[in-house]
């Protein structure tokens, strides 16, 4: 099933991929603008101008309205929306979560999505919100899995079928659900019911939900973060392995007179300047934008431009191998995003397995970087360095040709490593000259471990002032380590 998704390039758990649908190939990561079949701020046929490759609409809304249903059944979904590229359809699950019931069954809505020619259909799953009782989450999950497996049997044509991963805020349920769905085999895996987490800025919890769900899936399966449409969090979600997003935000925010940027959101009436170079922001002054009779439409257009701009920035970062540097920058736009960044690195052990071993230069962007998967990988490989005889550990800039058998370089956050490895990723990292405490701590923990792993070797460490840390005492207390103090080079 997942052979419809090819991964072309990887960074961390993020990737550039190609998803093949009946109406064409979609390059991911990407955002699907949400089209309301009743109200269209911007015509679907214009969406390509912003960079959209695939749209998402709601089959339940179409199903419920006679006029829309008849046209969709007669001419097809693509004619109804006047868009000839791929279109994903939702099932009414969202309405189910809001109103508690819907007037359609799982079988009926799957059948309908196939008949109108949807490219990616969604079964009528139950989007269980966060923080409900475990019993409720577990019971609803059983119904969801039952319906998804029934839907899998009902799809006979070439429509791709989405298998939404539910399980509320219970990580074991999310992972179990993902594992079960993976065994059944779906074409796309949306992670559902995460909007309440985003609306309450619980990005750290969102990180856990994504990680738990991803851990249960085949890593090559395409993932859709359902309901995520703010570009501020795309880089983070992509780094965790999300491929598709959907944005109703471009239109909803515009209706609310909100102006989206990748750093956050402005109310348009607060804008003295327009911090953007899209065609709308170049053409209008802030005053004109505020007072225009069609300001909602103009704002929606700006919102779409910046949404797709962020996707291109992310793709370039994956291509270059510096996605984590981008994530670390983006996560500084809000304290709760910073929390999410720290939470992401609690999953470094898992990320490390997916992360390519060699990328472009590692840039140390702040204390969180000391917990990056590459730093963890280096720590996990310390056993591989067998150091015999005597060893001199020098700070990075100091050169030394000495009578020692080995020369090691001390570079936070990694610690000491044989100097001949200095050009190899990630040891060729760009790091601040004066390291922070997190970086030093990691470096000394690793160096102490290296000395303990080679008890026969006599280590001499040239300590300079800017590398002082409480762990130096612990290093010095080892029987095979001697410390000499030098000046800052
Ligand atoms: Zn703009």
pLDDT at 76 over 90: yes
Asked if 270 and 330 sit in the same domain, the reply is yes
Ligand 1 centroid from CA 225, angstroms:
25
- Per the listing, tokens 């994504």 go with 210
Asked if 201 and 134 sit in the same domain, the reply is yes
Q: Which of 304, 333, 354 is the last residue of a domain?
A: 354
Summarize the confidence of residues 112-130 as an average pLDDT. 97
Asked if 252 and 295 sit in the same domain, the reply is yes
Look at residue 397 in the predicted model and tell me its pLDDT.
65
Look at residue 486 in the predicted model and tell me its pLDDT.
86
Q: How far is CA 452 from CA 41, 57, 115, 385, 480, in A?
A: 65, 60, 67, 12, 8
Ligand 1 centroid from CA 101, angstroms:
39
Paired tokens of 2: 């997942």
Ligand 1 centroid from CA 51, angstroms:
14
How deeply is 194 buried, as exposed, middle or buried, from its count of CB atoms within 10 A (0-12, 13-18, 19+)? buried
Asked if 300 and 404 sit in the same domain, the reply is no
Ligand 1 centroid from CA 317, angstroms:
22
401: confidence class by pLDDT, cuts 50, 70, 90: low
Ligand 1 centroid from CA 234, angstroms:
18
Asked if 324 and 382 sit in the same domain, the reply is no
Look at residue 63 in the predicted model and tell me its pLDDT.
97
Look at residue 489 in the predicted model and tell me its pLDDT.
58
In this structure, is residue 37 part of a structural domain? yes
Summarize the confidence of residues 209-217 as an average pLDDT. 98
Asked if 332 and 206 sit in the same domain, the reply is yes
**Widest CA span in the chain:** 88
CA atoms within 13 A on the CB side of 255: 9
The set of residues, in sequence order, having a beta carbon less than 8 Å from that of 244 and lying 6+ positions away, is 19, 28, 29, 30, 31, 32, 54, 188, 190, 222, 223, 224, 225
How far, in Å, CA of 441 to CA of 370, rounded? 9
Nearest to 10, CA basis, from 240, 273, 167: 240
Summarize the confidence of residues 207-217 as an average pLDDT. 98
How far, in Å, CA of 80 to CA of 251, rounded? 20
In this structure, is residue 99 part of a structural domain? yes
> How many structural domains comprise the chain?
2
Looking at the DSSP bridge assignments, the partners of residue 461 are 393, 483
Ligand 1 centroid from CA 141, angstroms:
41
Full residue range of the structural domain in which residue 197 is found = 2-354
**Cα 55 from chain centre:** 20
Asked if 139 and 241 sit in the same domain, the reply is yes
Ligand 1 centroid from CA 366, angstroms:
30
Summarize the confidence of residues 377-386 as an average pLDDT. 94
How far, in Å, CA of 457 to CA of 460, rounded? 10
Ligand 1 centroid from CA 45, angstroms:
20
pLDDT at 1 over 80: no
The CATH number of whichever domain residue 22 belongs to comes to 3.20.20.105
In this structure, is residue 465 part of a structural domain? yes
Compute the mean pLDDT over every residue in the chain, rounded to the nearest whole number. Answer: 95
In this structure, is residue 361 part of a structural domain? no
In this structure, is residue 362 part of a structural domain? no
Rg (CA), the chain: 26
Asked if 41 and 95 sit in the same domain, the reply is yes
Ligand 1 centroid from CA 58, angstroms:
28
Ligand 1 centroid from CA 268, angstroms:
11
Look at residue 431 in the predicted model and tell me its pLDDT.
96
Ligand 1 centroid from CA 309, angstroms:
10
In this structure, is residue 359 part of a structural domain? no
Ligand 1 centroid from CA 386, angstroms:
56
Q: 53-70: string of b/e by CB count within 10 Å (b at 16+)?
A: bbbbbbbbbbbbeeebbe
- The predicted-structure confidence for 167-186, as pLDDT tens digits, reads as follows 999 999 999 999 999 999 99
Q: Catalytic residues, which ones?
A: 90
Asked if 169 and 212 sit in the same domain, the reply is yes
In this structure, is residue 114 part of a structural domain? yes
At residue 271, φ and ψ (nearest 5 deg) are -85, 120
Neighbours of 126 (CB within 10 A): 20
In this structure, is residue 103 part of a structural domain? yes
How far, in Å, CA of 380 to CA of 24, rounded? 43
Asked if 140 and 287 sit in the same domain, the reply is yes
Asked if 261 and 120 sit in the same domain, the reply is yes
Q: Which of 300, 332, 354 is the last residue of a domain?
A: 354
Ligand 1 centroid from CA 307, angstroms:
10
14-21: strand order across its sheet: 5-11, 14-21, 24-28
Asked if 346 and 389 sit in the same domain, the reply is no
Ligand 1 centroid from CA 409, angstroms:
48
Q: Which of 328, 354, 380 is the last residue of a domain?
A: 354
User: Is pLDDT larger for residue 215 or for residue 3?
Assistant: 215
Summarize the confidence of residues 104-113 as an average pLDDT. 97
- The predicted-structure confidence for 20-70, as pLDDT tens digits, reads as follows 999 999 999 999 999 999 988 899 999 999 999 999 999 999 999 999 999
């Amino acid at each position: 099933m997942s052979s419809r998704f090819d991964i072309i390039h990887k960074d961390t758990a993020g990737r550039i991929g190609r998803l093949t649908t009946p109406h064409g190939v979609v390059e991911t990561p990407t955002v699907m603008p949400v089209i309301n079949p009743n109200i269209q701020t911007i015509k679907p046929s214009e969406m390509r101008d912003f960079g959209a490759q695939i749209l998402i609409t709601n089959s339940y809304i179409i199903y419920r309205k006679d006029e829309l249903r008849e046209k969709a059944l007669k001419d097809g979904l693509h004619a109804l929306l006047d868009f000839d590229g791929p279109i994903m359809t939702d099932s009414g699950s969202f309405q189910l979560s809001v109103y508690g019931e819907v007037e359609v069954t799982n079988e009926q809505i799957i059948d309908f999505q196939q008949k109108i020619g949807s490219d990616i259909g969604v079964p009528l799953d139950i989007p269980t919100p966060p923080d409900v009782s475990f019993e409720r989450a577990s019971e609803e999950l059983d119904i969801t899995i039952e319906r998804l497996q029934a839907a899998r049997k009902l799809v006979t044509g070439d429509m791709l079928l989405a298998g939404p991963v539910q399980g509320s805020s219970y990580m074991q349920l999310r992972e179990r659900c993902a594992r079960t769905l993976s065994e059944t085999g779906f074409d796309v895996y949306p992670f559902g019911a995460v909007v309440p987490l985003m609306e309450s800025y619980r990005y750290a919890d969102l990180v856990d939900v994504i990680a738990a769900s991803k851990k249960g899936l085949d890593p090559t399966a395409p993932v859709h973060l359902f309901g995520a449409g703010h570009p501020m969090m795309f880089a983070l979600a992509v780094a965790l392995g999300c491929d598709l997003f959907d944005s109703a935000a471009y239109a909803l925010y515009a209706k609310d007179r909100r102006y989206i940027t990748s750093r956050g959101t402005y109310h348009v009436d607060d804008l003295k300047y327009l911090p953007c170079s899209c065609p709308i922001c170049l053409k209008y002054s802030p005053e004109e934008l505020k007072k225009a009779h069609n300001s909602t439409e103009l704002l929606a257009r700006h919102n779409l431009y910046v949404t797709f701009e962020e996707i291109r920035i992310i793709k370039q970062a994956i291509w270059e191998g510096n996605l984590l540097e981008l994530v670390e920058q983006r996560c500084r736009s809000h304290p709760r995003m910073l929390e999410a960044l720290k939470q992401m690195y609690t999953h470094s052990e898992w990320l490390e397995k997916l992360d390519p071993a060699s990328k472009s230069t590692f840039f140390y962007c702040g204390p969180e970087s000391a917990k990056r998967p590459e730093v963890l990988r280096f720590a996990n490989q310390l056993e591989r360095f067998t150091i015999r005889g005597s060893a001199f550990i020098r700070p990075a800039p100091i050169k030394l040709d000495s009578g020692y058998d080995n020369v090691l370089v001390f570079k936070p956050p990694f610690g000491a490593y044989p100097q001949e490895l200095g050009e190899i990723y990630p040891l060729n990292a760009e790091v601040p000259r004066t390291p922070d405490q997190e970086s030093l701590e990691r470096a000394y923990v690793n160096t102490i471990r290296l000395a303990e792993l080679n008890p026969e070797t006599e280590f001499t460490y040239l300590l300079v002032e800017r590398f002082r840390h409480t762990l130096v005492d612990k290093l010095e207390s080892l029987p095979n380590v001697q410390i000499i103090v030098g000046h800052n080079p």
